[in-house]
Amino acid sequence: MGIKLVIVGGVAGGATAAARARRLDEDAEIVLIERGNDVSFANCGLPYYVGGQIPRRKSLLVRTPAALSNLFRLDVRTRTEATRIEPAAGLVHLRDLDSGRQYVESYDYLLLAPGAAPVVPSIPGIDHPAIYTLRNLADVDRIKAAVDGGARTALVVGGGFIGLEMVENLHRRGLSVALVELLPQVMPPLDPELAARLHQELTDHGVEVHLSDAVVAFDGHDGQVRARLKSGSLLEADLAILSVGIRPESGLAREAGLAVSERGAIVVDEHMRTSDPRIYAVGDAVQVRDALLGHPTTVALAGPANRQARIAADNIFGRVSRYRGALDTSIVRVFDVVAATTGASEKLLKARGVAYRKIYVHRGHHAGYYPGARQVTIKLLFTPDQGRLLGAQIVGTEGVDKRIDVLATALHAGLTVKDLEDLELAYAPQFGAAKDPVNIAGYVAGNLLAGDEQFIDPSELPAASPASDGPDGQEIAGWTILDVRQPAEFEADHIPGAMLIPLGQLRDRWREIPTDKPLAVYCAVGHRAYYATRILRHKGLRPWNIAGGLTSYRLVHPAPAP
Amino acid sequence: MGIKLVIVGGVAGGATAAARARRLDEDAEIVLIERGNDVSFANCGLPYYVGGQIPRRKSLLVRTPAALSNLFRLDVRTRTEATRIEPAAGLVHLRDLDSGRQYVESYDYLLLAPGAAPVVPSIPGIDHPAIYTLRNLADVDRIKAAVDGGARTALVVGGGFIGLEMVENLHRRGLSVALVELLPQVMPPLDPELAARLHQELTDHGVEVHLSDAVVAFDGHDGQVRARLKSGSLLEADLAILSVGIRPESGLAREAGLAVSERGAIVVDEHMRTSDPRIYAVGDAVQVRDALLGHPTTVALAGPANRQARIAADNIFGRVSRYRGALDTSIVRVFDVVAATTGASEKLLKARGVAYRKIYVHRGHHAGYYPGARQVTIKLLFTPDQGRLLGAQIVGTEGVDKRIDVLATALHAGLTVKDLEDLELAYAPQFGAAKDPVNIAGYVAGNLLAGDEQFIDPSELPAASPASDGPDGQEIAGWTILDVRQPAEFEADHIPGAMLIPLGQLRDRWREIPTDKPLAVYCAVGHRAYYATRILRHKGLRPWNIAGGLTSYRLVHPAPAP
């Protein structure tokens, strides 16, 4: 008889580990334990089943228990809960949830893939029947039944991935949706100035967005659920989705004496082995290493869970394999806007005291001469010395996924901004440009590091204030602001108090620029302003380029409604 | 007075170099010489203007001479030809094409960006007025006039990028199109089994494709142009496009005594400097280094031309900068099919005697449970020892550009197939999968290198031949072929003479497999066959997995028409 492997948890990590184990060892005895009804289902697809984008429920069942069992010769036991581990004895206690039968299974190796549970805050009224969390097919069946049953309004609490995808899908079903988020922004991995694009997109679709707010109590009201917010607002809805975070399901591990982090994640080494040499753990429940900065972190993403599962199985069956840590590459679509990140955010770098520089690029996703180019915004973070990449964030409508994957690959490889200049990416008019936005990001970062350009962040400029001598009766106190676009662009919108000298006239008119205050130059996205600052530097001025131009400025300082 | 730089050629490389030079030095005197009417036009967009996808001609004019001149304070001289260089004296002889005036310009540095001219073979009748080449706006105006004037049939000679894009765009305008290509395949950078998808797509759209054939003579016939092919066929058309290759415009350089390669490309070092220290050259006319294999090559792509131009300007103005060589990343769309390559092809590796291994992956471009997943085919080439990437080719309809750019980045970084396993790419149902096709390619390649799998290429299997004992009365001589798909899939199509044991029954029925001949296993794409070979190996068999499954097999051995 071969190795006996018991796997607890049969969704992404558990099912992958079982399949890999079988390919490595045809003789092994592999028992797959799953508390729910289903194994190997498409948890990332659940919101889209509610929204009808995925029309058939069975599409979500990547493999049924029977198929999985047959294909890999597994002993699959659904509706079975692991209640206790005896590591010294190599035993796991199981309970059949239907019959109630309790029994014990021995193992040579145990692999834990328990996942993470939605956090349910203990606030009054939280047990209202119209409040749902979303983790598995049973949950999604309940939510879909409520929507199919005629719900017309919904409240989504929490603006992370699941919250945003639920907002979109409930909206697609015709519901009026309100979103409440504790932070001042949705999608926490993004920095706030990029998240602003998502806020705009939500608002444009009629979603009522409550940021920096929280539900303090629920109650029932005329057959609806009513949420009282910290701000005092009252929101009523036919159903509420709670997606305020997740918590590693590490109770079983902790009770077995395995090392668990302060934040409740199972501690594993690079082989995915826990503090017990015969027990491995993978997925949302484990603590891994941040691939770039090295600190411990958790990552609740399907890709890394699958990767970890394969690595755990390899190590169990005698193949040395290491997990390189998490980059936290992620992407979300909210209506037409796509937002994606890889590596560290500026927030994270600040919090961890890591020195960095940053640039922004706003650029068409393919050549401008070919119809249909849509702007992508790239924020790039890198080390101040060598320009080694630290992180990237992208927001746009088309071509976002491609650029984030290129940058995730660059991060994996430890590339620098100079490498981004050199990347030879595929160009045909429909697909890119002779200088791809990623190349441009490399160039702009290179200019910054070479001292060819200095940037001021729009968030660092003071807000506009009344001034008697400004052309709009307004000014950015303490700065001269120069707009180098065309007059028609200036008339359509400009930074309050800015003076206008179009780039083409700058060589003749630069002496008009006051020199008593620091000078900040901008255009639409920063490109013409770069040319302008090169000219002005030659004249002996020390201009700043407003990073990302008016496009970035308006993310931080929205234009007043017309 | 600053440095005086004269640039010969004002399209991609020349215009970029001029703009970069100005940003580096506001004092420099920069003279931009262009023989044609236009500078800085979108040459990659020309076919799409003929086709109407780019409706406005002025979209193609990225910058007019006046705009370029004003923006960068350049002395732009269009319709001016450089006729001779005196390197020792630092002089270039110029001729105004309109007035005929000849004069001399001195330079501190000279930058040559002359591009490449379409090859026009010297065959009888080549001067027929309905035969066109496509290089600039004047050419495209003539072609568009012919199409607008009612041309109904077209002949395209040469199936490279421009030829294929012209086929598509002429077809879009309603013309019946025939394509003649000297090689047995279109798009020469692709290996033939992937080019087969393009042949199919062309044929499906009614394009008459003549491979391994060539025009030996043209003549006029009833107001049309008539081509006589080597094969004896006669093709008549209202217009013919010649796109059989390009030739570096290196005459000026050669006559000046600069080093020029046997194939006519201007020799430059990694700084883009020619054999004369004051003369630089960039773009389609120069010989550069292959970034992976190191041999000299030429690359006629806009991205590298721009990159080289910036590097040349940097070096001229005192910033040391190096060109890392060409990966030859390219992409073409032909109707709905997109084909892309980066790095070396199998053909090139064979020709250069480089040891390699290869794998194929056929996989949905995003998660299968989300509607709309389309198959992408990835061919990956890598070193036999460490699995270092050597090249990749992708064919599909969606998501091709993303994967080729990820792989181009991986090639740039010197990554291995193991790195592809580890890449953490962005996954949401619309954008990818928990295991992206690139990750899968890494896994399959890793299996090959680890000895977990052995592949036989469909092209290495003998063609099917009549056999009395085969289930179809056919066999692949010398092999046992095992199909592990479902019976319905087998009935729809299978390799002639194959026996069927569905994967789920294999553990019970493997003893039915004859052991007198080598065994090749396949499924649709190679995934289930991998599982099957793992099981069979455990039983002591040494099965081969038919690389890429029936999907790859049918690229090499098309199914008989029903």
Q: Which of residues 444-483 of A touch B (CB under 8 A)?
A: 452
- Position A475 scores a pLDDT of 84
As a whole number, the mean pLDDT across chain A is: 95
Strands B286-289 vs B296-297: parallel, antiparallel or unpaired:
antiparallel
Same domain for A463 and A447, yes or no, is no
Domain boundary among B260, B285, B316: B316
Which residues in chain B have Cβ-Cβ distances shorter than 8 Å to A71? 503-504, 531
Is the CB of residue B561 less than 8 Å from the CB of residue B473?
no
Residue A464 has pLDDT above 90, yes or no: no
A217 — phi, psi (to 5°)? Answer: -160, 145
For residues B483 and B243, what is the distance between their CA atoms, to the nearest angstrom? Answer: 44
Domain boundary among A417, A452, A487: A452
Percentage of residues in chain A having pLDDT higher than 90: 91
- Residue type, position A163, single letter: G
For residues B143 and B130, what is the distance between their CA atoms, to the nearest angstrom? Answer: 9
Express each pLDDT in B431-484 by its tens digit.
999 999 999 999 999 999 999 999 999 989 988 888 766 567 788 889 999 999
At B147, list the tokens: 């199409």
- Position A470 scores a pLDDT of 58
Q: Are A435 and B303 a contacting pair at CB < 8 A?
A: yes
- Residue type, position B142, single letter: R
Is the CB of residue A87 less than 8 Å from the CB of residue A75?
no
Degrees (nearest 5) of the Cα angle A320, A323, A329?
155
Residue B83 has pLDDT above 90, yes or no: yes
Q: Are B303 and A413 a contacting pair at CB < 8 A?
A: no
- Position B140 scores a pLDDT of 96
- Position A371 scores a pLDDT of 94
Residue B307 touches chain A, beta carbons under 8 Å: yes
- Residue type, position B256, single letter: A
Is B327 a domain residue? no
Give A422's contacts (C-beta < 8 A, 6+ positions apart). A442, B307, B324, B412
Is the CB of residue A546 less than 8 Å from the CB of residue A359?
no
Average of per-residue pLDDT across B318-330: 96
For residues A430 and B381, what is the distance between their CA atoms, to the nearest angstrom? Answer: 26
Least confident segment among A468-472, B132-136, B386-390: A468-472
Confidence band, pLDDT 50/70/90 cuts, at residue A468: low
Integer CA distances (angstroms), A24 to A83, B321, B514, B522, in order: 28, 49, 25, 20
Residue B562 has pLDDT above 70, yes or no: no
Is B262 a domain residue? yes
Choose the catalytic residue: A24, A44, A182, A354.
A44
Helix or strand run (H / E) with residue A313: helix A302-316
For residues B506 and A188, what is the distance between their CA atoms, to the nearest angstrom? Answer: 48
- The b/e string for A72-96 (b: 16+ C-beta within 10 A; e otherwise) is bbbebbbbbbbeebebeebbbebbe
Same domain for B302 and B403, yes or no, is no
Average of per-residue pLDDT across A235-247: 97
Q: Which of residues 353-392 of A touch B (CB under 8 A)?
A: 367, 369-371
Residue A225 has pLDDT above 90, yes or no: yes
At A272, list the tokens: 């995915």
For residues B223 and A26, what is the distance between their CA atoms, to the nearest angstrom? Answer: 72
Residue B515 touches chain A, beta carbons under 8 Å: no
Q: Are A406 and B409 a contacting pair at CB < 8 A?
A: yes
Residue A316 has pLDDT above 90, yes or no: yes
Is the CB of residue B100 less than 8 Å from the CB of residue B81?
no
Helix or strand run (H / E) with residue A396: strand A389-396
Q: Are A401 and B432 a contacting pair at CB < 8 A?
A: yes
- Position B464 scores a pLDDT of 83
Same domain for A136 and A238, yes or no, is yes
What residue has token string 């999604």?
Answer: A140
Express each pLDDT in A540-556 by its tens digit.
999 999 999 999 999 88
Least confident segment among A138-142, A419-423, A473-477, B108-112: A473-477
Is A325 a domain residue? no
More confident residue, B555 or A209: A209
Same domain for A429 and A479, yes or no, is no
Give B129's contacts (C-beta < 8 A, 6+ positions apart). none
For residues A391 and A354, what is the distance between their CA atoms, to the nearest angstrom? Answer: 12
Residue A500 touches chain B, beta carbons under 8 Å: no
Same domain for A236 and A385, yes or no, is no
Same domain for B448 and B476, yes or no, is no
At A35, list the tokens: 């508390």
Is B414 a domain residue? yes
- Position B468 scores a pLDDT of 64
At A486, list the tokens: 């065309």
Distance from CA of residue B552 to its chain's centroid?
20
Is B430 a domain residue? yes
In 3D space, the residue among B79, B83, B103, B56 whose CA is nearest the CA of residue B10 turns out to be: B79
Residue B336 has pLDDT above 70, yes or no: yes
What's the half-sphere exposure (Cβ side, CA atoms, 13 Å) at A371?
9
Which residues in chain A have Cβ-Cβ distances shorter than 8 Å to B172? none
The 8-class DSSP code of residue A484 comes to -
Confidence band, pLDDT 50/70/90 cuts, at residue B420: very high
User: What's the burial of B294, exposed, middle or buried (CB within 10 Å: 0-12/13-18/19+)?
Assistant: exposed
Confidence band, pLDDT 50/70/90 cuts, at residue A559: confident
Same domain for A374 and A473, yes or no, is no
Total number of domains in chain A = 4
Is B214 a domain residue? yes
Residue A471 has pLDDT above 70, yes or no: no
- Residue type, position B68, single letter: L
Q: Are A504 and B70 a contacting pair at CB < 8 A?
A: yes
Which residues in chain B have Cβ-Cβ distances shorter than 8 Å to A408? 423-426
Q: Which of residues 167-226 of A touch B (CB under 8 A)?
A: none
Same domain for A445 and A476, yes or no, is no
For residues A293 and A295, what is the distance between their CA atoms, to the nearest angstrom? Answer: 6
In 3D space, the residue among B167, B152, B151, B163 whose CA is nearest the CA of residue B207 turns out to be: B167
Residue B330 touches chain A, beta carbons under 8 Å: yes
Confidence band, pLDDT 50/70/90 cuts, at residue A560: confident
Q: Which CATH number goes with the domain that contains B81?
A: 3.50.50.60
More confident residue, A466 or B482: B482
Is the CB of residue B308 less than 8 Å from the CB of residue B316?
no
Domain boundary among B244, B275, B291: B244
In 3D space, the residue among A17, A6, A25 whose CA is nearest the CA of residue A75 turns out to be: A6
- Position B400 scores a pLDDT of 98
Q: Which of residues 21-40 of B touch A (CB under 8 A)?
A: 22-23, 26-27
Residue B490 touches chain A, beta carbons under 8 Å: no
Average of per-residue pLDDT across B295-308: 95
Q: How far is the alpha carbon of A212 from chain B, nearest alpha carbon, in Å?
A: 26
- Residue type, position A202, single letter: L
Same domain for A377 and A472, yes or no, is no
Active site residue B523: no
Same domain for A523 and A536, yes or no, is yes
Choose the catalytic residue: B24, B44, B182, B211.
B44
For residues B525 and B553, what is the distance between their CA atoms, to the nearest angstrom? Answer: 9
Is B561 a domain residue? no
Confidence band, pLDDT 50/70/90 cuts, at residue A1: low
Average of per-residue pLDDT across B80-107: 98
Beta-bridged to residue A326, according to DSSP, are A290
Same domain for A433 and A402, yes or no, is yes
Three-state DSSP at B544 gives strand
At B460, list the tokens: 């290495």
Express each pLDDT in B507-517 by its tens digit.
999 999 999 99
Is B323 a domain residue? no
| Prediction ipTM score | 0.95
Average of per-residue pLDDT across B491-505: 95
> Domain containing B426: what range?
336-452
Q: Which CATH number goes with the domain that contains A473?
A: 3.40.250.10
The 8-class DSSP code of residue A497 comes to T
Integer CA distances (angstroms), A286 to A35, A263, A503, B413, in order: 19, 10, 54, 30
Same domain for A348 and A391, yes or no, is yes
Which residues in chain B have Cβ-Cβ distances shorter than 8 Å to A340? 426
Phi-psi region of A9 (alpha: psi -120 to 50; beta: other; left: phi over 0): left
Confidence band, pLDDT 50/70/90 cuts, at residue A148: very high
Residue B1 has pLDDT above 90, yes or no: no
Q: Are B367 and A45 a contacting pair at CB < 8 A?
A: yes
Which residues in chain A have Cβ-Cβ distances shorter than 8 Å to B306? 434-435
Q: Are A54 and B370 a contacting pair at CB < 8 A?
A: yes
- Position B178 scores a pLDDT of 98
